[in-house]
Amino acid sequence: MTATARRRAARDGDRQVDTAHLLHSLLESDRRVWDFLDGGSPQAGRLLGYLVQRSIGYGLRWQGTVEDSGAIPLAAAGEQPGAAPRWSQAAVAALDLALRRAHLRGRQRAEGVDLFAGLVADGECRAAEVLERAGVDRERLAGRLGVRGESGDTPVTA
């Protein structure tokens, strides 16, 4: 799933693999994540629509920009032309939260739902913006996933 997000960012010409890339990959690859969104609901359809529009260059205008949700201080770019996109700081925070959730369950590897919780926990990331624009109640979803607060460094439950 992370490889799919990285390929999507590179294909789209984005400078970073961000939380919206991760969300798109999760929805395509993990049925449990889709179920948390009530997969047949109108919001789920709109959500996928926003992500598809973004991947073809329409909709939310993020292409070529840097995601900074404030989850981790923005690092200096050090990017090289033609290099593979790096992970946004918000994506790194979401991946870190996913791994912490897995460790709380005694697992070495995070599952898609863990990463989804990491994306939902940060109310300022691009994935959260896409969720909210699609009409998904992010706070309610955070409660269902067992995350609280607005950032990836908040308490988590297994």
pLDDT of 5 strictly over 60 = yes
Q: What is the pLDDT of residue 62?
A: 54
pLDDT, tens only, 56-101:
654 445 555 556 555 544 444 444 555 678 999 999 999 999 999 9
Helix axes 138-145, 112-121, angle to 10 degrees: 140
Q: Which of 113, 67, 123, 75 is nearest to 91 (CA)?
A: 67
Neighbours of 30 (CB within 10 A): 17
pLDDT, tens only, 13-62:
788 899 999 999 999 899 999 888 876 678 888 888 888 877 665 444 55
pLDDT of 4 strictly over 90 = yes
pLDDT, tens only, 89-142:
999 999 999 999 999 999 999 999 999 999 999 999 999 988 998 899 999 999
Tally the C-alpha atoms within 13 A of residue 20's C-alpha that lie toward its C-beta: 32
Q: What is the pLDDT of residue 19?
A: 95
Q: What is the pLDDT of residue 114?
A: 97
